[in-house]
Amino acid sequence: MKLLAFNGSPRKKWNTAQLLEHALEGAESEGAKTKLYHLYDLDFKGCISCFACKRDGGKSYGHCAVKDDLQPVLRKIEKADAVLIGSPIYLGITTGVTRCFLERLIYPYLVYDAERSSLFGKKIKTAFIYTAGATDEMVQEMGIDRNARGTEMLMERIFGSCESFFVTDTLQFNDYSKYVAPRFDPEAKKERHKEQFPLACKKAYELGARLVRQGE
């Protein structure tokens, strides 16, 4: 069993990355082999609309033809049993690099037919971990949860299943006094982080373990 995780945050040690690490620990506790990729370390762009992956009889049919750092990673996903993607929410949606990754990951396998077919050769487990400075209420008010559901539906169509885990009202800074952010109560933020983030890490651990158990 192999689980690949992707950190779509530019921060390698902050909320999203920490949650992914706990998820990988959960997966490893069930015997899975894991690997974490930091998307900001890879040199790639989103879909360039060349349609090589759609060309009938083309050598890249069903695969992204763009040669860059992401291409070999996409090939490794085809040999994985589970995929976990983590991203903070920026302006109501995932980070730009995460969207670029999703374009390149999903589109080559998507078939324009009435059956909504997938060219991915098997069914695997997929999941998202989202982190947001926004509260649960703001996530719903801004439609962030609906955006996530749309992505879930695409992942389900291509890979077979998908689930999402939101961790909200997260801590943005270590020291709020150094930044202009008067809408936040620094002490309340810190207290919430102290109380709630360990619980979120436990749930991330359980998510990783569950992906492995369900994928076996």
Distance CA 120, CA 105 (A): 10
Q: Are the CB atoms for 109 and 156 separated by under 8 Å?
A: no
Q: What is the dihedral of CA 34, 168, 173, 207, to 10 degrees?
A: -10
Domains and CATH numbers, the chain: 2-215 (3.40.50.360)
pLDDT at 197: 93
Q: Which residue has the tokens 């999402």?
A: 164
pTM (2 decimals)?
Answer: 0.91
Give the pLDDT confidence of 145-193 residue by residue, as tens digits.
Answer: 888 899 999 999 999 999 999 999 998 888 888 999 888 888 988 988 9
pLDDT at 145: 87
User: Can you tell me the mean pLDDT for 188-203?
Assistant: 92
Give the pLDDT confidence of 64-93 residue by residue, as tens digits.
Answer: 999 999 999 999 999 999 999 999 999 888
Residue 128 has pLDDT above 90, yes or no: yes
- In 3D space, the residue among 7, 2, 3, 31 whose CA is nearest the CA of residue 129 turns out to be 7
Residue 24 has pLDDT above 90, yes or no: yes
Q: How confident is the model at residue 125 (pLDDT cuts 50, 70, 90)?
A: very high
Residue 62 has pLDDT above 70, yes or no: yes
pLDDT at 177: 86
Distance CA 206, CA 202 (A): 6
* HSE-CB for 94 with a 13 A CA cutoff: 29
pLDDT at 121: 87
Residue 200 has pLDDT above 90, yes or no: yes
User: Can you tell me the mean pLDDT for 201-208?
Assistant: 96
pLDDT at 216: 63
* Strands (E) located in the chain: 2-7, 33-38, 82-90, 93-94, 125-131, 163-167
**% of the chain surpassing 70 pLDDT:** 99
Q: How confident is the model at residue 133 (pLDDT cuts 50, 70, 90)?
A: confident
pLDDT at 127: 96
SS3 (DSSP) at 106: helix
